[in-house]
Chain A
């Protein structure tokens, strides 16, 4: 598994599934449809992205296209890191 996806997976399972994935979470699972993340959950996720990957997220980036599955999140994080390679290095 891509290390970014792995980090994200662990965060989502620990924080939103109380540590129990029970096979419910694939790369494509929609957090919204599966009822995994509510509105406070989105804020927690954003905070995690900031802490873990050092990326700042704009209001207009807080949309399901970027955040609503492990795969989308991974793409989004990779894109943000690519835009700020120096910071990403420091963070890893």
Chain B
């Protein structure tokens, strides 16, 4: 059987059934089959012959699906490459497989044109290409696929031991390798998988994974094999929209990877219900056990399949859903019509309950790597019969007494992240292109969601400077998205083996322990970031918001100074209004500093004393009444502030007290009751809300937008008043850690007296630091702890860099989590009824 028969057979059985849903487009089997037929004729007319390799360089789309089947119908071999592939690698692949044709779209044509030398390429079919731009080598794809002449089947050109696909995967040499799969290999794997998933024509399968990833590709193949419906999404970028699609299209099967699972669990799945959903499959890396449990709780009617595979044989194993409760960490046993076992280093088969390399035997096993005989021989070794080859996966597994498998790691240093194999060497070569890099090593560090996360460890040349941001943006320009490192670490020295090579294992061990975690993780290229933010501010204000300028509330602090400076560089100082809003209790130097910032930037300014407004609202009076419930003598002439118990030094709750200074200078402190605390906060929130009210007054007056000034710490941890300082039309620095804001301030030349002033809340009459009231730690330490929490670093790894004990770091982590939970309400936009 040929793979194109999947589509042809179903088109014969169910001509008018929906085969493919993509955005607003619905195609029946007949329509899709005829589109693919017309493409096959077009390919043949332009010289594509049996066994020719044809590259599909497209996003998930109707065109990409039609392309795969059109190529097969023309007798060709399809190779779907990741739509984010950059020119250098694309050129390598095109020439490696000597592709005679490419199917792409208008957006990617530029990258394709940047491939300098493609001597084998004869023609390119381009989706979205105008007839005017077409020539003999660039053919508009749209008209070819549209209904019309030539919808009849082309003559069958191949047999089932011909190649159907080349799937490129990373090799240890750093060059991608083409996994050769025959029609028979694919038919075998697709049949086994649809058997254990019990797929039927009633299945509606949602695919959000790229078709370049075999897990994504097979969703299309399998949907058509069983005569079901494929719902194709470009990505999982908009989770809410995807869940709505599941409801609208009554999806029954949803293949996910651990990153998608993590996002799903952040949403209220119960609210969606997803009644049509019959099963979820997971592969790439094992799901954390806790995630499995929570998925089951949220979606009790859905069967969850934990699976494991590699491109070289597509799928290896699956865990029957009923086994999930018994052995949640296992990826199961071999799938139907396939045998899997573990071997020791000498290749001897091991009994259940052992640890060894996984070997796969079955008709799903690939034919080898395209024109790489030595690499092929390492993976495929003689089997039971003369022509049989066994697949030695290079993956280490443990099996339990009943033969269920548990993934342990790789035999070589290949990194497996999001289920894709990544060659450290390929990334290291890209890192070495940077002038400042003396030595670079790339390792995989355990990651609960990605399986492994890519980490680049770099030694910088003497006299050179390099930031993590520079490294990452260089990688993003040169590598596919999934290969870009998650973290960059700078070292004075890399550990070496006796032969002088970088000791990767030692490095991985040190990295896992966080050796080397330092403030350097937050380094950024201030000049590049400022330039980017200026572009973004222009876009947001002029294009998105369509306003003539921005209002910035100047507090005299570094955040508002940086926002004002960026805005005035982006829009021109004539389009920025600096608004100063002192009140009776704000320290006079705040106003002085705010004026200094405005003068430095040459801004138009307005000053509004908000004390009368606050007094009219009863801000001071209501607050003082609340304080008197715990400090009866508090009254006129007194000053106060709210302080939080030191939750880092001691294992305590963040209980709040009021500190009062009486006119004669004596201090008193009293724990607040819940009512008093809420009353004090509610009353003082008038300050932030009144300021915002005035900002919008001027915004309305001038057709300006309001720029908010929260930094990442404040934004992430909910240190703002809802509809007060939390309200804004744009928040240009909400992604930056406080230390990064300071770095930008230095680059921009913010007056020193502003940058040297410690951050204050400016909300209470007594001087009050932010850590006293909210963060419990000074900003530079809070930054590091927040970064570490997000990168799942152990408290032990973080402790030295922030001069705390691991126990104290754990407390900070708990506080971060608690604040995130509490700030959910603050971040929520007004809710609407569901449905």
Partner-B contacts on A (CB < 8 A): 32, 35, 38-44, 46-47, 59, 62-65, 67
> Are B652 and A39 in contact, with the CB atoms below 8 A?
no
Residue of A nearest to B650 (CB): A63
Given contacts A62-B655, A63-B653, A64-B651, contact A32 B814 (CB under 8 A): yes
**Residues on A with beta carbons closer than 8 Å to the beta carbon of B673:** 43, 46-47
**Residues on A with beta carbons closer than 8 Å to the beta carbon of B674:** 40-41, 43-44, 46-47
In whole angstroms, what is the CA distance A47 to B654 when docked? Answer: 16
Residues 802-835 of B contacting A (Cβ, < 8 Å): 814, 818, 821-822
**Residues on A with beta carbons closer than 8 Å to the beta carbon of B653:** 39, 42, 62-64, 67
How far, in Å, is A24 (CB) from chain B's closest CB? Answer: 11
> Are A43 and B677 in contact, with the CB atoms below 8 A?
yes
**Residues on A with beta carbons closer than 8 Å to the beta carbon of B656:** 39, 43
How far, in Å, is B654 (CB) from chain A's closest CB? Answer: 4
In whole angstroms, what is the CA distance A65 to B818 when docked? Answer: 18
21 contacts between A and B (CB under 8 A): A32-B818, A35-B818, A38-B818, A39-B653, A39-B654, A39-B655, A42-B653, A42-B655, A43-B655, A43-B656, A43-B672, A43-B673, A46-B673, A47-B675, A59-B655, A59-B671, A63-B650, A63-B653, A64-B652, A64-B653, A67-B653
**Residues on A with beta carbons closer than 8 Å to the beta carbon of B654:** 39, 42
Count how many pairs of residues, one from A and one from B, have CB atoms less than 8 Å apart in the complex. Answer: 49
In whole angstroms, what is the CA distance A64 to B644 when docked? Answer: 16
B156 touches A (CB below 8 Å): no
Residues 649-680 of B contacting A (Cβ, < 8 Å): 650-656, 671-675, 677-678
Which 4 pairs from chain A and chain B are nearest by CB? A43-B674, A44-B674, A39-B654, A42-B653
In whole angstroms, what is the CA distance A32 to B678 when docked? Answer: 20
In whole angstroms, what is the CA distance A42 to B656 when docked? Answer: 10
Residue of A nearest to B821 (CB): A35
> Are A62 and B677 in contact, with the CB atoms below 8 A?
no
How far, in Å, is A42 (CB) from chain B's closest CB? Answer: 5
> Are A62 and B652 in contact, with the CB atoms below 8 A?
yes
How far, in Å, is B203 (CB) from chain A's closest CB? Answer: 33
Residue of A nearest to B655 (CB): A62
B619 touches A (CB below 8 Å): no
**Besides the known contacts A40-B674, A43-B677, A62-B653, 7 further A-B residue pairs in the complex with CB atoms under 8 A apart:** A40-B677, A46-B674, A47-B673, A62-B652, A63-B651, A63-B652, A65-B651
**Residues on A with beta carbons closer than 8 Å to the beta carbon of B818:** 32, 35, 38-39
In this complex, the member of B653, B656, B675, B814 whose beta carbon has the largest number of chain A beta carbons within 10 angstroms is B653
B645 touches A (CB below 8 Å): yes
In whole angstroms, what is the CA distance A12 to B74 when docked? Answer: 69
Residue of A nearest to B654 (CB): A39
How far, in Å, is B823 (CB) from chain A's closest CB? Answer: 10
In whole angstroms, what is the CA distance A46 to B677 when docked? Answer: 13
- A-facing mask of B528-542, CB < 8 A → 1, else 0? 000000000000000
> Are A59 and B645 in contact, with the CB atoms below 8 A?
yes
How far, in Å, is A52 (CB) from chain B's closest CB? Answer: 14
> Are A38 and B645 in contact, with the CB atoms below 8 A?
no
